[in-house]
Amino acid sequence: MVKGISDNQESEEEKISRINAAGIINVTLENLWKDVFNSLSQGNLVIWNRKLDCIWSILGGDVKEGDNNDKEMKALNERIYSTGSLNHKRTGFKKIEEDESTKMSMQYILLNEKNLFLRRLQNKQGKGTAYQRDDDDDFD
């Protein structure tokens, strides 16, 4: 403890520090979500996936290794990567073949699942726009 600072003042400083850190995390997440939506709207599957991985690196820090959320994320990534490359850039007038178009559609669906999973996880952790508490009733 610093000389001249009481226990109450010190804990108040710790609270402020935690609030500031939470604010920085929320700003970072918001910026990443903007990037996610930009890459989604442009159909850039590679950047979309990378930005989602950045979000996971933040949210996953509060997830215990091997718990259901960790397992779900690993399963989603395995399903995404099992479809092959997310890079479908074309040069010239070369058309996308039907099997590649089907693969791209599946990748889009899987990336959207990953997107929704992370958004829901963020909300569950209280870092999003919708806050979910365990004692809340579901009224739909």
Quote the crossing angle between the two packed helices 45-59 and 7-42, to the nearest 10°.
160
pLDDT level of residue 24 (50, 70, 90 thresholds): confident
pLDDT at residue 88, as a whole number: 79
Between CA 8 and CA 12 the distance in angstroms is 6
Mean pLDDT within 70-77 = 97
Residue 33 has pLDDT above 60, yes or no: yes
Q: How far is CA 62 from the centre of its chain?
A: 12
Tokens 């989604």, residue located:
40
